[in-house]
């Protein structure tokens, strides 16, 4: 992880999340009284769910651990934390279903950045770069699909390819570096395998291999594919690396259709000079979270996925509720 991103999300964001749940714990009553239509009143009592198993992905280990530990401890639960084995989500869901145990799952994504036809590329490029190549492409909410209007397609492809080719690759402890290595050699080989697959499905316009001069280390060039359809393997499957697909669309309705043409629904972004127009598009995208002209994720708001991206919500007061069990005490006199 590049050091600037680590300082921002692993450190500052995680500290803010701990403070948020500390304040929420102090402000959340153990019991509250509600009026009752059938009796005198109802007392709703909150108590800790119990022992919680928190399985943490490797890509943002501190942030994602704290996102579970903070609300669980605020609720009064005991927490057992462990790293995530590959493909754990569905297996855990199956076990929890058999045991009738509650579970929250975040299972990845293939989010879309929708560029409306009024965007100024120079203005949006810093935020577009962030949401498409964040953490070397190893980010669940990454917008690894860019949907570009057909009327401006060549211009947008050229701008994105130029930006990707200009990114600095190297030691992630160097503050000037934009793209660090993949997490493991096996993961690098997996990403390179998808790139080879993409060469038969689309036109390679930037990157496409291991960077020259960095033979040591598990590096992959920021890679951009274009002149392709949304049905391509590289546009449908989560690659989890610095690989971007730029896909043309005809009009706003077609952009929404393509954004929703995915088994996933975790993140997304709409870029436009008209914020209200962007909001109207964002409301139609089937996803658990979406940004307007950027993706400033907020720990005070619920985060999670729909479709194959999972179930339940983390962050916000909604996450605290996941670690509480409720009892209603009906009072008649």
Question: pLDDT at position 333, please?
Answer: 84
For residue 108, give the nearest of 284, 247, 234, 288 by alpha carbon.
Answer: 288
- pLDDT(86) > 80: no
**Residues 61 and 88 both lie in one domain:** yes
**Residues 58 and 152 both lie in one domain:** no
**Residues 175 and 42 both lie in one domain:** no
- 268-310 pLDDT, tens digit each: 999 999 999 999 999 999 999 999 999 999 999 999 999 999 9
**Residues 20 and 145 both lie in one domain:** no
For residue 277, give the nearest of 260, 293, 254 by alpha carbon.
Answer: 293
**Residues 91 and 128 both lie in one domain:** no
| CATH number of the domain where residue 242 is located | 3.40.309.10
Task: Give 2's pLDDT tier (boundaries 50, 70, 90).
Answer: very high
Tell me the mean pLDDT in the region 302-328: 96
**Residues 272 and 189 both lie in one domain:** yes
Tell me the mean pLDDT in the region 150-164: 98
- pLDDT(103) > 90: yes
Which residues span the domain enclosing 246? Answer: 112-292
Domain count, the chain: 2
- 193-244 pLDDT, tens digit each: 999 999 999 999 999 999 999 989 999 999 999 999 999 999 999 999 999 9
Strand order in the sheet with 41-48: 31-35, 41-48, 324-331
Q: Can you give the pTM of this predicted structure?
A: 0.96
Is residue 92 one of the residues assigned to a domain?
yes
Is residue 301 one of the residues assigned to a domain?
no
Question: pLDDT at position 231, please?
Answer: 98
- pLDDT(54) > 90: yes
60: exposed, middle or buried (Cβ count in 10 Å: 0-12, 13-18, 19+):
buried
Which whole-number Å values give the CA distances from 3 to 131, 175, 187, in the listed order? Answer: 17, 6, 21
**Residues 210 and 70 both lie in one domain:** no
**Residues 320 and 181 both lie in one domain:** no
* Structural contact between residues 201 and 233, judged by C-beta atoms closer than 8 angstroms: yes
Q: What percent of the chain has pLDDT over 90?
A: 96
Q: Which positions are catalytic? A: 106, 140
4 CB neighbour count, 10 Å cutoff: 14
- 122-137 pLDDT, tens digit each: 999 999 999 999 999 9
| CATH number of the domain where residue 48 is located | 3.40.605.10
What CA–CA distance (Å, rounded) separates 140 from 109?
6
**Residues 245 and 280 both lie in one domain:** yes
**Residues 97 and 163 both lie in one domain:** no
Task: Give 89's pLDDT tier (boundaries 50, 70, 90).
Answer: confident
What CA–CA distance (Å, rounded) separates 309 from 191?
20
Mean residue pLDDT of the chain comes to 97
């Amino acid at each position: 992880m590049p050091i600037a991103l680590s300082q921002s999300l692993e450190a500052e964001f995680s500290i803010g999340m701990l403070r948020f749940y500390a304040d929420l714990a102090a402000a959340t009553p153990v019991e509250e009284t509600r009026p009752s239509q059938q009796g005198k009143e109802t007392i709703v009592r909150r108590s800790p769910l119990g022992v919680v198993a928190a399985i943490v992905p490797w890509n943002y280990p501190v942030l994602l651990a704290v996102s579970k530990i903070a609300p669980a401890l605020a609720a009064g639960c005991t927490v057992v934390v462990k790293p995530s084995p590959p493909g754990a989500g569905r297996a855990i869901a199956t076990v929890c279903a058999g045991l009738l145990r509650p579970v929250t799952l975040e299972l990845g994504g293939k989010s879309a950045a929708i560029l409306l036809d009024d965007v100024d590329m120079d203005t949006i490029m810093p935020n577009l770069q962030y949401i498409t190549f964040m953490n070397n492409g190893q980010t669940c909410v990454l917008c690894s699909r860019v949907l570009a209007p057909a009327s401006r397609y060549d211009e947008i492809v050229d701008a994105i390819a130029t930006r990707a080719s200009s990114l600095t690759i190297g030691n992630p402890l160097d503050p000037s570096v934009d793209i660090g290595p993949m997490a493991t050699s096996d993961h690098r080989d997996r990403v390179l395998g998808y790139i080879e697959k993409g060469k038969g499905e689309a036109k390679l316009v930037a990157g496409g291999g291991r960077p020259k001069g960095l033979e040591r280390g598990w590096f992959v060039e920021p890679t951009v594919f274009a002149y392709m359809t949304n049905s391509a393997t590289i546009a449908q499957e989560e690659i989890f690396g610095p690989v971007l697909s730029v896909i043309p669309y005809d009009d706003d309705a077609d952009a929404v259709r393509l954004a929703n043409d995915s088994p996933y629904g975790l993140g997304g972004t709409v870029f436009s000079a008209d914020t209200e127009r962007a909001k109207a598009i964002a409301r139609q995208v089937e996803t658990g979270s979406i940004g307007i002209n950027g993706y400033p994720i907020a720990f005070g708001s619920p985060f999670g996925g729909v479709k194959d991206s999972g179930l339940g919500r983390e962050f916000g007061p909604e996450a605290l509720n996941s670690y509480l069990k409720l009892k209603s005490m009906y009072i008649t006199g």
